[in-house]
Amino acid sequence: MAKFRVDSIEARADAQVACDTFVLIEVEEEGVTVDKVVGHFTVILNAAIVNQITGTKPQRIAQYKALFAADPRIAGIIDSEAAVAKMGADIAFPVEVTV
């Protein structure tokens, strides 16, 4: 499951909202599962679309999440995690590859 931490949001002069986003993976450290940052980028949301969101607070949050998830990099990370899980189930690493 892809995990992201949005540390902050800020208004931009081009009518966008910038979400300062970190990509996290869970790793085992000394018998404890912790989140490790493996990437960082800014997800940009269209302010006009954000301003059109209505409903209860949980409904609005779900819609913000959907806008966030629409960023193609988010989909790419989700695809990458699925590919790693698939390969990891098939192959014991490290492995030597001869082509």
Span 31-74, pLDDT tens digits? 999 999 989 999 999 999 999 999 999 999 999 999 999 999 88
Q: Would residue 8 count as lying in a domain?
A: yes
Residues 31 and 66: their CA atoms lie apart, in Å, by 34
Mean pLDDT of all residues in 5-28: 95
- Domain of 61, in residue numbers: 3-90
Q: Would residue 99 count as lying in a domain?
A: no
How does residue 77 score in pLDDT terms, banded at 50, 70 and 90?
Answer: confident
Q: Would residue 81 count as lying in a domain?
A: yes
For residue 47, the model assigns a pLDDT of: 97
For residue 78, the model assigns a pLDDT of: 83
Residues 74 and 77: their CA atoms lie apart, in Å, by 5
Residues 85 and 17: their CA atoms lie apart, in Å, by 33
Q: Would residue 18 count as lying in a domain?
A: yes
Q: Would residue 95 count as lying in a domain?
A: no
Q: Would residue 77 count as lying in a domain?
A: yes
Total of domains in the chain: 1
Query: What pairs with residue 33 in β-bridges?
Result: 28
